[in-house]
Structure 1
Amino acid sequence: MKLTIRYFASVREQLGVSQEIVYIDASELTVDCLRDRLASRDERTAEALRAGRPLRTAVNQEMVAETFIVREDSEIAFFPPVTGG
């Protein structure tokens, strides 16, 4: 399936890219599984998307849980939680 992945804030800075299109050999998968697959690509992505790092996720511009199922042609955004100050 074809997915558009967007990265924001410190995740974007770590990866040096704000958006990419990826092709995953699956008809659907959870956000958590997608994050693991992306993180397994290389060391820099592994650090940016590591399992212990708190990240928020939106699919098609709606906030979702890690168990949300992603389908073909979705836009997935990863970003750190917003803090006030």
Structure 2
Amino acid sequence: MSTAVATAAAATRAVRLVYFAWVRERVGLPEETLDIPADLATVADLVRWLKARGENYEAAFANEAVVRAALDQVHAKPQSPLGAAREIAFFPPMTGG
């Protein structure tokens, strides 16, 4: 592998993103695996990066404070570090019953 290719590969990492309920409907996918920039530090950074990917993501994350996230199936706040999470799920607030 050339140095340039190795550097480009190190600059991203593959993450499985899972979308639930109306987040899924607006994104248009139940899940996807994306190579995200390695320098995205928090859930909020990832959300901003996703919003820049297109209108469907912009619609899904229009109100960032409403959408919830889970890192490897553990609830996370917007300021939570992504760390080495391999799966990140996004979903609307849940109501009990």
CA distance in 2, matches of 1:52, 1:77: 14
Aligned counterpart for 1:75 among listed residues 68, 81, 87:
87
**CA RMSD for the aligned pairs?**
1.7
Give 5+ residue unaligned stretches, structure 1.
Answer: none
Pairwise CA distance, 1:15: 1.8
Write out the 4+ residue segments of structure 1 that deviate beyond 4 Å after TM superposition.
none
Contact 2:14 2:35 in 1 (8 A): yes
The structure richer in helix per residue is 2
| Greater radius of gyration (CA) | 2
In the superposition, the TM-score normalised over structure 2's length comes to 0.77
SS at match of 2:41: strand
2:34 paired with 1:22: yes
Pairwise CA distance, 1:69: 1.1
Length, aligned pairs only: 85
Identify the range of structure 1 (1-10 vs 19-28) with the bigger mean alpha-carbon deviation. Answer: 19-28
- Which structure has more relative contact order (CA 8 Å, sep 6+)? It is 1
